[in-house]
Chains A and B, each alone.
Chain A
Amino acid sequence: MARVKLTDVKKVYDNNVVAVHDFNLDIADKEFIVFVGPSGCGKSTTLRMVAGLEEISSGTVEIDGVVVNDLQPKDRDISMVFQNYALYPHLTVFENIAFPLRLQKVPQEEVFKKVTEVSEILGITEYLNRKPRALSGGQRQRVAIGRAMVRNPKVFLMDEPLSNLDAKLRNQMRAEIILLRKRIDTTFIYVTHDQTEAMTLGDRIVIMKDGYIQQVGTPDEVFDQPKNLFVAEFIGAPKMNTFRTNLIKENGEYYVTPFGSKLLVDGLKGEELKKRKIEPQEVILGVRPEHMVLGKDADNDIDAKILVNEMMGSELHLHVVTNDNTELIVRVPTVDLSHEERAKLTSGNEFHITFKGNVMNFFDVESEENLLN
């Protein structure tokens, strides 16, 4: 349990490559923070600087009000789960979990008590006498989490802990981490490249690219109000459709004019545009695949032709092409579709798509920043 504060943290490698630029973040006590971004964005480097495994080139990292820049990892009272588990192969599961306690010279009875407790929480009591090599990937990951839990650290660091698991197990472990988090109730910093993990786990998400923070916010905020085009495209799957178009103003209402049509921007977004008196201009329009629906609407529809129909089970992902050859992805829940309707949604068929004007995003053509920031 601790507050973690990063101030102007910078990482420059020996070859003068800057991995992290002026990183500023204040993590509240017991908060679950997720660093997310594509590979090479500096998220793991930042985590490793908090852990003390990577030297901090400039700036400060504080844990519980103490600057830890010059403290060894062992003196920071943190624990960490690694992507490749990093279990000690020569030790049994019991000794792996007990390892941090052994280093602290905790009495044998207490070690036994704590290891038993942790292994019960994680459901690994029956494997305590096994060596790591006799465990499956999911079991190994539990042991790694157990080893990190056993000490009640101030900060719990996780570096892509689920990346080595298969998709099914990953979903299961993700849910378990949410439960675990409620039990451990400490400060978490979690690194992942997977936006689903970030959205489902984080109280707040830090989205990074090329060593810069792009946006810090709750899952709702980063999804609904992406600060820039990068965040908009990174969060959400399938990714947001983006294309250039014109934002115009007629009779006090804002419209966008993609693919030779004229679509009304209404609802919250329309009001925001009016309130801020945004100048009509060329914009990058961002529309999420779920913010378009099939069917005709007097104001807000366009014509499109289906390229590919991906059946996902609960929904269809339609890859469509508009009259000016822009490719879009439309997400259609299958539950509302009749058999006849579904049969029509095959490659080559034409139909109408209606845009929901109240959830559109507008980005500056030059800076790619959200116009409504």
Chain B
Amino acid sequence: MTTTPKKHMGLKAKERLSNTIIYILLITISIVWLIPFIFLVFESFRVESTYQVGYVVPKQFGLDNYINLFTKTDFPIWFKNTFIIGLFASVIQTIIVLCMSYTLSRLRFKGRKLLMNVMLVLGFFPGFLSMIILYKVLSWFNLTSANSVPGLILVYVASSGMGYYVSKGFFDTISRSLDEAARVDGATRFQVFTKIIMPLSKPIVIYTILTAFMAPWGDFMFAKYISHATSAGMNVAVGLQYLISTPQNLSAYYTMFCAGGVLVAIPITILFMCLQRYYVEGVTGGAVKG
């Protein structure tokens, strides 16, 4: 009678100990991970200096950096550029990716396997290998420097069909008999796609939109190369880096740079918060007996 409860206590204590260790570990990791963000936010509200100082919490809080960013720099242009690029790229890319994935998942045609393999192998090469050629091609069409916004949209969208894996995998899980039932019920292939597959694929559509928007939003390498030091064609990442690219600029604009960093994070955060619930929503239950 006395041994059994003791044993239980032992188990509980063990569990508590392991939980404590896990929590300490996780908290440490989160702190390390969050510190840069917290520093960035603090710096962005500092009024007393525009350059780096040896402490974190500002002596004087204010919105000066944000106001200056909009009045004294080209930040509004960069922000607008990035937003336009992100918007167009995400819409076009989502359409292309979903059509591509649906086709690869549902239709059987000659060269399908080859196409998928070629795209897989091509995907192994880092994208920037093609940078010089891309610049050449875009410059023929006068889509660099100040005109780099449409040029960049083109670059981000062009290879989007290659990102079919995730959504094809998702479509593969939707029973083909749903397609067949709809076709027998009188739907065209396109209607099957829009009326059956799309509503069932909300999570993957959202995922595709988010990734398609985020990639150009944070891109630096292509944007830098194609905008070619012309402020009018820069996106936020390139613009902000440009802001602090010389030592003099670094001390004059450092806190504004931080404010820019905070502003860049806001749209993405909002977008994600609005759409994240679809990630978890399972909609395929009951379609086919499991």
**A interface residues, Cβ below 8 angstroms from B:** 14, 51-53, 72-74, 78-80, 82-90, 99-100, 103-104, 131-135, 137, 140, 147, 151, 157, 164
Do B182 and A88 touch (CB < 8 A)?
yes
CB distance from B192 to the nearest CB of A (A): 10
Chain A's closest residue to B284 (CB) is A89
CB distance from B100 to the nearest CB of A (A): 22
Chain A nearest CB, measured from B195 CB (Å): 8
Bound: A203/B153 CA distance, A:
64
With A84-B175, A87-B287, A88-B287 given, is the CB distance from A53 to B200 under 8 Å?
no
- Given the known A-B contacts A133-B286, A140-B289, are A86 and B188 also in contact in the complex, defined by CB atoms under 8 Å? no
Q: List 28 A-B contacts (CB under 8 A).
A: A52-B183, A52-B184, A72-B188, A73-B184, A74-B183, A74-B186, A74-B187, A80-B184, A84-B177, A84-B288, A86-B177, A86-B178, A86-B181, A86-B287, A88-B181, A88-B182, A88-B196, A89-B285, A89-B286, A90-B199, A90-B283, A99-B185, A100-B185, A103-B191, A131-B286, A132-B287, A133-B285, A134-B286
B180 sits at the interface (CB 8 A):
yes
**A82-B285 contact given A88-B196, A100-B186, CB 8 Å threshold:** no
Residues of B within 8 A of A14 (CB): 108
Instruction: Please state if A72 and B196 are interface contacts (CB–CB under 8 Å).
Output: no
Q: Which of A82, A90, A103, A137 contacts B180 (CB 8 A)?
A: A82
**Contacting pair A103 B185 (CB below 8 A):** yes
Across-interface contacts of A104 in B (CB, < 8 A): 186
Cα distance, A84 to B180, chains bound together (Å): 12
Are A137 and B289 in touch, CB under 8 angstroms?
A: yes
Interface residues on B, range: 20 to 34
The 6 closest A-B pairs by CB, nearest first: A133-B286, A86-B181, A89-B287, A86-B177, A100-B185, A103-B186
A interface footprint on B4-28 (CB within 8 Å = 1, 0 otherwise): 0000000000000000000000000
Q: Which residues of A lie under 8 Å from residue B288 when comparing CB positions?
A: 84-86
The 8 Å CB contact of A85, one of B180, B185, B283, B289, is B289
B288: min CB distance to chain A, Å: 4
Interface residues of B (CB under 8 A from A): 108, 175, 177-178, 180-188, 191, 196, 199-200, 283-289
Q: Complex formed: what's the CA distance from A80 to B177 in Å?
A: 11
Residues of B close to A90: CB separation below 8 A: 199-200, 283
Q: What CA separation (Å) do A13 and B183 show in the bound complex?
A: 21
CB distance from A196 to the nearest CB of B (A): 21
Residues of A within 8 A of B175 (CB): 84, 86
Question: In the complex, what residues of A have CB within 8 A of residue B177's CB?
Answer: 82-84, 86
A78-B184 in contact given A86-B178, A88-B196 (Cβ < 8 Å): yes
Nearest Cβ in chain B — how far from A179, in angstroms?
A: 23
Is B200 a contact of A74 with CB atoms below 8 Å?
Answer: no
Chain B residues lying within 8 Å of A83, measured Cβ to Cβ, are: 177
Closest to A83 in B: B177
- Given A84-B177, A86-B181, A89-B283, list of 17 further CB < 8 A pairs? A53-B180, A72-B188, A74-B183, A74-B185, A83-B177, A84-B289, A85-B288, A86-B180, A88-B182, A89-B285, A89-B287, A90-B199, A90-B283, A100-B185, A131-B286, A147-B185, A151-B186
